Amino acid sequence: MTIQADATQDNASKSGITPLVAGNWKMNGQRSSITEVMAIRDAILEAQNKPKTDVMICPPATLLMVLAELIDNSVVAFGGQDCHILEKGAHTGDISAAMLKDAGASAIIVGHSERRENHSETDDIVLQKAQAVHNQGLMAIVCIGETKGQRQAGLTIEVVSRQLAASVPEGATAKNTVIAYEPVWAIGTGLVPTLEDVANVHKAIRKALCERFPAQGANMRILYGGSVNPTNAQDLMSVENVNGALVGGASLKATDFLQIIDVYAPSD
Ligand code: PGA
């Protein structure tokens, strides 16, 4: 696939969808990291060519409230990384969507493969979590993606379609739901699928969304995630039906994250 220099802007403007670049800090970040987010905010505010994208950071819950109070969420929005299926109760160590909302989150990631793997989260649990997010009026970023073995067995589309059908609640809209396609084998490995592969999976996700949500599916954002970095972001974000990125490692440093956001900065 050959990518034109201005293809990212073309892809974004043709679709009419405002892209989203979201950083998932995972279990990283302490008080000292607040300066990274302030640097991101300052760079966005100072940019002559303002990026045409929504920008979000999903910090650890310990930093959420302090960041949300410090930084205007119209410049950098904040999200949680996971939530419990219930609103409150005796669940030691867990955190609810209501609590994350109270702390300043406007979105919550659910169904990340690290949660699915490390905490045995099934599609049904992810569905209930996404529903809990919606019940608070927040946006659910629902992650789906195949393992290396599933890809090698030619099951990518089947797996992703099944996860999509089983993890996204009935009331999903373009406002309250974002899909993040994250091949498990690409997360934190430096490996990325070919652009053709990304295009094929995103096309299949778009088709499934349009079939299930006829009034909303065409406008729902589908992010790509898995080893997005300043070098590959331009190409990945230029692929049709890629409406932004969910970024792990490269979101921890303001300079790297800003370069990814910058692929959506108009050149004139
Ligand atoms: P990565 O993580 O960018 O470090 O591969 C992406 C993610 O897990 O969301």
Task: Answer whether residue 155 shows pLDDT above 70.
Answer: yes
Mean of the pLDDT values across residues 181-189? 97
The verdict on the CB of residue 131 being under 6 Å from ligand 1 is: no
pLDDT of residue 175: 98
pLDDT of residue 73: 94
pLDDT of residue 2: 41
Band (pLDDT 50/70/90 cuts) for residue 3 is very low
Question: What percent of the chain has a predicted confidence (pLDDT) above 90?
Answer: 91
pLDDT of residue 13: 74
User: Which protein residue's CA is at the shortest distance from atom 2 of ligand 1?
Assistant: 248
What's the CATH number of domain 7-264, 3.40.1280.10, 3.30.390.50, 3.20.20.70, 3.40.1130.10?
Answer: 3.20.20.70
Hey, where are the domains in the chain?
7-264
SS (H, E, C) the chain: CCCCCCHHHHHHHHHCCCCEEEEECCCCCCHHHHHHHHHHHHHHHHCCCCCCCEEEEECCHHHHHHHHHHCCCCCCEEEECCCCCCCCCCCCCCCCHHHHHHHCCCEEEECCHHHHHHCCCCHHHHHHHHHHHHHCCCEEEEEECCCHHHHHCCCHHHHHHHHHHHHCCCCCCCCCEEEEECCHHHCCCCCCCCHHHHHHHHHHHHHHHHHHCCCCHHHCEEEEECCCCCCCHHHHHCCCCCCEEEECHHHCCHHHHHHHHHHHCCCC
pLDDT of residue 15: 82
Is 112 one of the annotated active-site residues of the chain?
yes
* pTM > 0.85: yes or no: yes
Mean of the pLDDT values across residues 92-114? 98
Atom index in ligand 1 nearest the CA of residue 250 equals 3
Ligand 1: centre distance to CA 31 (Å): 22
pLDDT in tens, 21-53: 999 999 999 999 999 999 999 999 999 888 899
Spatial separation of the C-alpha atoms in residues 159 and 135, rounded to whole Å = 27
Determine which helix (DSSP H) or strand (DSSP E) holds 57, and give its type and residue range: strand 54-58
Mean of the pLDDT values across residues 146-154? 97
User: Which protein residue's CA is at the shortest distance from atom 7 of ligand 1?
Assistant: 248
Q: What is the pLDDT of the chain when averaged over all its residues?
A: 95
Atom index in ligand 1 nearest the CA of residue 251 equals 3
The verdict on the CB of residue 111 being under 6 Å from ligand 1 is: no
Task: Answer whether residue 164 shows pLDDT above 80.
Answer: yes
Ligand 1: centre distance to CA 90 (Å): 31
Task: Answer whether residue 5 shows pLDDT above 60.
Answer: no
Mean of the pLDDT values across residues 117-142? 98
Task: Answer whether residue 256 shows pLDDT above 70.
Answer: yes
Is 134 one of the annotated active-site residues of the chain?
no
Band (pLDDT 50/70/90 cuts) for residue 186 is very high
pLDDT of residue 268: 59
Task: Answer whether residue 117 shows pLDDT above 60.
Answer: yes
Spatial separation of the C-alpha atoms in residues 15 and 242, rounded to whole Å = 10
pLDDT in tens, 201-243: 999 999 999 999 999 999 999 999 999 999 999 999 999 999 9
Task: Answer whether residue 170 shows pLDDT above 90.
Answer: yes
| Best probe residue, ligand 1, of 187, 227, 253 (max atoms within 8 Å of C-beta) | 187
pLDDT of residue 7: 79
